[in-house]
Structure 1
Amino acid sequence: MKENKSNIKIIIEFTYGLKRYFLIAAIITILGIGFNYITPQVIRVTVDSIIGDAPLNIIDNIGGREFLRQNLYIPAIIGVVFSILSGICNYFYKVYMAKASDGTIKNLRDKLYSHISRLPFSWHMKNPTGDIIQRCTSDMEVVKSFLGIQLLEFIRIIFLILISLTLMFSMNVKLSLIAVAFILMVIIYSVIFYSLIQKRFKAADEAEGELSSLVQENFTGVRVVRAFGRQSYEIERFDEKNIGFSRLWVKLGRVLSLYWGIGDLFSGLQVMFIVVFGCFETVSGALTLGELLAFIFYNSMLVWPVRSLGRIISEMGKAGVSINRIKEILDAKEEIDSEDATTPDMKGDIEFKNVKFDYYGTKPVLKDASFKIQKGSTFGILGGTGSGKSTIVHLLNRLYNLDENSGEILINGVNINNIKLDYLRHNIGVVLQEPFLFSKTIKQNINIASNIDADENFESIKDVSTVASVHENILGFSRGYDTIVGERGVTLSGGQKQRVAIARTLIKNSPIIVFDDSLSAVDTETDAKIRHELKTHVKDSTVIIISHRITTLMHCDYIIVLDDGKIIERGNHDSLIKTNGIYKKVYDMQSSVEDEITDTLNEIKGGDK
C-alpha cells in the first residue's frame, strides 16, 4: 500500500461490495431531510393562512379556510405524517449505514489480520504485541464510529444547513445573516481546536498502547512474576503507566470541555439573537407570526447540526490518528516470494556459505560461518549463550533474511531465497526451546500442523507422542489426549510442553527437523530415550540438534562448536574429545557434575535403606 494515500482513499478501498449501502443511506437521508423540513411549513401555513387571513391557493384546493379552521386536526395529521415519514427514513438510514460501516470495518479488520499474519518475524520483534492489539481493537473502534456515525452525518449536516439557510433566507435575510454569522464562528473555532485535539488524542492513544503492552506482558509472564515475588514492583509499574495514561486523557478532556463549552455558548447566543431580533422583525411587519415560528423552528433544527458539525470535525482528528496508526501496519511490507521461487526437493544437503548476520546493525552474531550438513545425517551445534546457535535456525527457516553480500544458504543446491516461503517452512520442522501451546486439547495441539482431522489422525498422534516420550504422561491425565491445555500450556510442566512440541513437529514428517535446545527441560534418561526413538522415526530426515548438553550431541554424525559467532571446532564426538578445546572442557565439566549427582543419589538411597 502506498504511503501517500489519503485516509479517505484508504477507507474507500475497503468499501468494496458496500458502496450501494452508502448510496442508499445518502438518498434516504436526503428524503428524510425533505420530510423533516416540510413540518415547519405546515405550521407556518396553519398559523398565517388557516388561523390567520394570509392568502394561499392551496387552502382552497383542500376544502377552504373555514373548513380547515373547523377541522384543525387535518393540518395536524399532515404534520404528523411527514414526521412519521422522516422517522422511517431515519430508521432505514441507520440500518443501511450500519451495514455499510460494519461491512467496511470487517473488510479492514480481515485485511489487517491477514496482513499482520504475513509480516516478517523481524517486524513482530520490533512491535510490542499489546500495541498491535490496541491498534486492531481501540483504533478500529474509533474508525468504526467515524464511519458509522460521523462520515455520512457530515454530508447530512451539510444538506441540513444548505436547505435550512435556503428556506430561512426566503423568509428573512437579516435573521438568516445572524444565523450564518454564528455558523461561521462555530466552524472557525472547531478548526482551531481540531489540531489541538488531534495531538492530545495521539499522545493518549499511544499511551494506551504502551499500557496494553505492559498488561499483556505481565499476564503472559504471570508465573515468572509470582515466582520472583515481583507483584508489588509490577503493580507499581502499572500504576505509573496508568497515572500517565489518565493524565493524558484528563488533558484531552479539558480541551474537549472547553470546546463543548464554547459551542454551547454560541448555540445559546444564536437562539437568543434569533428570538429577540425575530420579535422586532415581526412587530415591524417584516415577518409574519407563522414565518417567525417556522424560522425559530428551522433555527433550532440548525443549531444541533452546526454543533454536530463542530463535533465531527473534532472527532475527525481522533479518527485521523487511528487511521494513521492502522495505516502504519498496512504500510509494513509483507513477506513475499521472489519471482523465480521454486519448490525443489528438500531431501538434500544443507550448506551455509560465508554467512554473516547481525540484528538491526548491532554486533555481528554470525561471522563468516561455513559448514555443510549431509542429507539424512544428524548434525549437532554446541555453543554458549549469544554464540549464534538459534540464529542459524532463524536464518534457515527465513525468519530473518540475509543481506546482500552476507553469504548464502543452500538446500539441495538451491538458495533458500529462491524457495517459496510456505513450502520451505512446511518442510522444516522446528522445535523451539520455549514452545508455544494453544488453549486447546493436547490432541489438537499435536495435530495442529496436520491437514487431517485430529480424531481421524489419532493413531499418528499417539505414535509421535510415544516417540517424544510423552504418551504415558498424557494417559496419566484424567481426560488423556482430550485434556485442555491452559493458555500457553500453563497446565503442563516445562518438560511436558517440550515433548508435546516435539510430537507436534514430528507429525509433519518433515525432511528437515531442527531441535533448538528443545530437550533442555527433560532429564538425561528421557533425553536418551527420545533420541533413541528419533533414530527410528526420522531415519530419512536431516536432523539438526542444538544443545548445551554433550550427552544430547555426542551421537550426532557431525558437530560444530560456536563461540562469538565463529565456528571454532568441528568434527564428531570422538575426534572432538581428543582435542583440548571447548567441547572437551564442556564434556569433562558435565561428566564430573553428572558423576557427583549420581554419587549423591546413591548415598541418599543407601541412607534410606
Structure 2
Amino acid sequence: MAASQSDTPKTAPFVLLWKQMRGFRGKYAWAIAALFLFTAINYVAPLVASATIDFALSGKPDDSRPITWIIGLMGGADFVRERLWFPALLMVLLTVIAGGFSYLKGRFAAEASDGIARRLKDRLYDHLQRLPARYHDRAETGDLIQRCTSDVETLRMALAAQVVEVSNAVLLLLTALPVMVMLDGRMTLVSFALVVPIILFGYIYIGKVKHLFAEVAESEGQVTRVVQENLTGLRVVRAFARQDFEIDKFAAPNKLYRDRSLKLLHLMAWYWSASDLIVVTQQGIVLFTGACFISQGSLTVGTLFAFLMFLNMLLWPVRQMGRTLTDLGKSVVALNRMGEILSEPEESVPAGFVRPSSPAAGKIEVRDLVFGHGEENAAINGISFTVEPGETLAILGPSGSGKSTIMHLLLRLYDHTSGSIRFDGRELTELDRQWVRSQFSVVMQEPFLFSKTIGDNIRLGRGGAEAEQIHEAALLADIHDTIKGFPSGYSTLVGERGITLSGGQRQRVALARALLQDTPVLMLDDALSAVDAETEATILEALRSRHGRRTTLVIAHRLSTLAHADKVIVLEKGRIIQHGTHAELAAREGLYRRLWTIQNALENEMSQDTAP
C-alpha cells in the first residue's frame, strides 16, 4: 500500500510551509525589498528615454506631464539636448544598479529556499526514523524516496523563483498603473485591455492541469519504486534469468509516467502558444492605437516609447504567471505529499513512561499474549512463558508460527493486542521504547549491513568501541580470521546491504555487532542458518562459555542450535504446543521429536556419504 493512502489527517500545505520558513522569512523580506528597488529603477529608465526623445529631439511637450520631472532631474532640456550622451550613460548606470538589486533578490531568495529545503529533508528523514513499523509495512520505499528528494527539490525551485516572481508581478502592476495613468489615461486603458484576460486564462489553465501534477508525481514514484526494488534484488533477478520480465515490468510504469508527462507538456505548450498570441496582440493594439494618437497630435513619440517599454516589462511577468502557477501547483502537490508523511503520528510515548536508570537484569514474563497484524487471524494467540535472567530460551516452529513476531513484540516494534509482557517486573508498554531497545542485542533473520567497512558495521553495536573490543566480538562470532584474510582486513568495504560478503559471513558480522553491544538480552532470529555445521559448533561453544551472563532468546530450525538451551518452546499457528528442555522434548512424542529424528537421520546419511 502506498504511503499516500493513509487515513491520517494531513497537515495543511501552507501551514507546513510557513512553519518551515521560520528563520528564513527575513531573507525573503530582503529579497522583496531588493525586488522593489529593482522594479522602481527599471521604470525610471523608460522615463529617461521618453523624456530625451520628447524634450531633446521633438521639442518640449506639455509641462503638466511627469516627463518634465525626469528632464528636470537631468539638468533641463537644454542641458540634455547639448549632451545626448548623458541620458544614455544614465540609462546604462540605472541598468547596472538594477542588475545589482536583481542579484541581491536572487541571492536572498536562493539562500532562504536552500535553507528551507535542507530543513525539510532533515525533518522528513528524522520523522521517518520515528514512525511505527506498521507505517513502513504499508509504505513503498521508492515512493518515500521520491517524496524526500524530488518533491523537496520541486518545492525548493518554486521558493527560489516563483515566490519572488509573484511578488514581482504584483509590484510591477502596482507601480506601473499609477505611472501610466499619469502619462496618459487613454493609453493606460488600451495597454490593460488584454491583461485581465491573460490572468483569467492562466487561472483556468492551472485549474485544468492541477490534477496532472499529482498524477505525474505518483507515476514518477512508481518508476522509482520499481528501479529500487530491481536493484535491491538484482542477484535474484539474474539467478532466475528474469531480466526480460523485469524490463517489461519497468516498461509499464515508465510508459505511464511518459504519457502523463507528455499530456502535461502538451497542455503547457498549448498555454504558452495561446498566451504568446494574446501578448503579441496586446502589443499590436498599443502600437496601432499609439500611432493613431500621434498622427492626431494627442500623443508624443516619447510617451508611446515609454508605454511600449512598460508594457513589455509588465506583460512578461503576467505571461509568466502561467508558468508561475504551474510551478506553484507542483509545489502544492509536493507539499501535500510531504505533509502526508509528516502527519503520520510517531511512535507514541505515554505521559508516564518509565526509563530505568540502571541496566536491566533481563527477566522476561509473557502472559496470555495475543497479537495480529490486521483483521486476519492472530499471529500470536494466548502464549505464556518466562525467561529468568541469564537463561537461554529456544523457540522452534514452522514458518508463520509466530517466532519472529515474538521478537518484534519484545522490541516494541509492535505493541501486543492483549495479554502482558513484563520486563524486569515492569509492563513493557509502560517503558520507553528507546530504553527497551537499548537493553536488547538483535541478530535479525535477514541481517542488514551498511555500505561501510566491516569494522564500522561491527562498531554500530557500540559507537565508541576500541579495536580490541571489536576483535574480541569477531572472535566470538568466528569471523575474525576470515576478516583478517581480506586484503584490507577490518577496513574492507562491503557493498550495499553487505552484498560482497557471503550469507554466512554477513550473519557472523551481524552476530559480532550484537555481541559487541553487550546488552542484558541477546536475541538470535535464525542467526546461524547460513553457516556450516563446523562454524555453528564453534559459535555455539563460544556462546555456551558465556552462559549465564545474559538472557538469550534463540530462534532456529536446526535443532542442534537449540540443544544447549535451558528451555525450549515449540510454536504452531501462534500457540505453544510443547515446552521443556531439549532432552525432555526429544524423548516425548510430538513435533520436536519428529524433527529431531529427521535431522539426525539426514546428518548420519550425509556423514556416511562423505566418509572416505
TM-score range, shorter chain: over 0.9
Is the contact between residue 513 and residue 542 of structure 1 (CA under 8 Å) also seen in structure 2? Answer: yes
The structure-2 alpha-carbon separation of the partners of 1:65 and 1:245, relative to structure 1 and needing over 3 Å to count, comes to closer
Structure 2 equivalent of residue 567 of structure 1: 576
- 1:370 aligned to 368, 374, 384, which one? 384
- Does 1:290 find its partner at 2:302? yes
Shift of 1:60: 6.0
Task: Find the residue that maps to 1:181 and give its secondary structure.
Answer: coil
Deviation at 1:57, TM superposition (A): 6.8
Distance verdict in 2 for CA 1:81–1:537, change over 3 Å: same
Whole-angstrom CA distance in 1 between matches of 2:380 and 2:461: 31
For 1:253 and 1:290, how far apart are their aligned partners in 2? 41
Q: Which runs of 5+ in 2 are unaligned?
A: 1-7
- Counterpart pick for 1:380 among 394, 397, 406: 394
- Which residue is equivalent to 2:113? 101
Q: Tell me the distance in 2 between the aligned counterparts of 1:469 and 1:31.
A: 72
- Change beyond 3 A, Cα 1:58–1:546: closer
Give the total of aligned pairs. 597
Q: Distance in 2 between matches of 1:242 and 1:79?
A: 52
> Alpha-carbon deviation of 1:5?
4.7
Q: Deviations over 1:11-35 (max 9, x none)?
A: 1211222222111111111011111
1:230 is aligned to 242
Q: Residue 516 of structure 1 aligns with which residue?
A: 525
Does the alignment pair 1:210 with 2:222? yes
Question: Would you say 1:78 and 2:90 are equivalent positions?
Answer: yes
1:459 matched to 2:468? The reply is yes
Residue 578 (1) aligns with residue 573 (2): no
The Cα shift of 1:4 comes to 6.3
Where do 1:196-345 residues align within 5 Å?
196-344=208-356, 345=359
Q: Which residue of 2 is the match for residue 397 of structure 1? A: 411
> SS where residue 507 of structure 1 aligns?
helix
Aligned runs of 1:480-491 on 2, under 5 Å? 480-491=489-500
**Aligned counterparts, 1:57-206, within 5 A:** 59=71, 63-206=75-218
Residues 161 and 305, structure 1, Cα contact 8 Å, conserved in 2:
no
Structure 1 consecutive aligned stretches of length 4 or more whose deviation exceeds 6 Å:
none
Partner of 2:17: 11
Does structure 1 residue 48 correspond to structure 2 residue 54?
yes
Output the CA distance in 1 between the equivalents of 2:136 and 2:280. Answer: 52
Say whether residues 1:601 and 2:610 are aligned partners: yes
Greater CA drift, 205-214 or 63-72: 63-72
Alpha-carbon contact 1:560-1:571 (below 8 Å) kept: yes
In the TM superposition, residue 63 of structure 1 has moved relative to its aligned partner by: 4.6
Distance 1:567 1:340, change over 3 A: same
Q: Report the Cα offset of residue 323 of structure 1.
A: 0.6
- 1:2-55 per-position Cα deviation (integer Å, ceiling 9, x unaligned): 956532221121122222211111111101111110011101111112222224
Query: 1:175: Cα distance to partner?
Result: 3.0
Indicate the residue corresponding to 2:373 in structure 1.
359
Aligned to 2:427: 415
The question of whether the paired residues in 2 share the 8 Å contact of 1:179 and 1:299 is answered with: yes
TM-score (norm 1): 0.95
Shift of 1:222: 0.9
**Match for 2:482 among 473, 487, 511?**
473
Q: Distance in 2 between the 1:61 and 1:300 partners?
A: 25
Instruction: Provide TM-score, normalisation by structure 2.
Output: 0.95
Q: Which residue number in structure 2 is paired with residue 548 of structure 1?
A: 557
1:243 is displaced (CA, Å) by 1.2
Q: Is contact 1:195–1:317 with CA below 8 Å preserved after alignment?
A: no
Q: Structure 1: which amino acid aligns with 2:353?
A: A
- Contact conserved, 2:198 with 2:278, CA < 8 A, in 1? yes
SS at match of 1:539: coil
- Give the C-alpha shift of residue 200 in structure 1: 1.0
Report the Cα distance in structure 2 between the residues aligned to 1:286 and 1:36, rounded to whole angstroms. 26
Q: Secondary structure at the match of 1:271?
A: helix
Show CA shifts across 1:485-508 (max 9, x none): 111111111001000000000101
The letter of the residue matching 1:53 is K
CA RMSD of aligned residues (A): 1.6
Contact 2:458/2:512 (8 A) holds in 1: yes
Amino acid at match of 2:256: G
**Partner residue of 2:5?**
none
Verify the 8 A CA contact 2:362 2:521 in the aligned structure 1.
Answer: no
User: 8 Å contact 1:171–1:287 — kept in the other structure?
Assistant: no
- 1:362-421 CA distance string (max 9 Å, x none): 221111111111211000000111110000001100111223xx1121101111111111
Q: 1:584 to 1:508 in 2, by over 3 A?
A: same
Alignment partners' CA distance in 1, 2:215 and 2:224 = 14
| Overall identity of the aligned pairs, in % | 37
Per the alignment, do residues 120 and 476 of structure 1 end up closer, same or farther by CA in structure 2, a change over 3 Å counting?
A: same
Q: 2:458 aligns with which of 433, 439, 446?
A: 446
Partner of 2:348, secondary structure, is coil
Q: Does the 8 Å CA contact 2:525/2:554 hold for their aligned counterparts?
A: yes
Letter in 1 for 2:570: V
Cα distance in 2 for residues equivalent to 1:475 and 1:143: 48
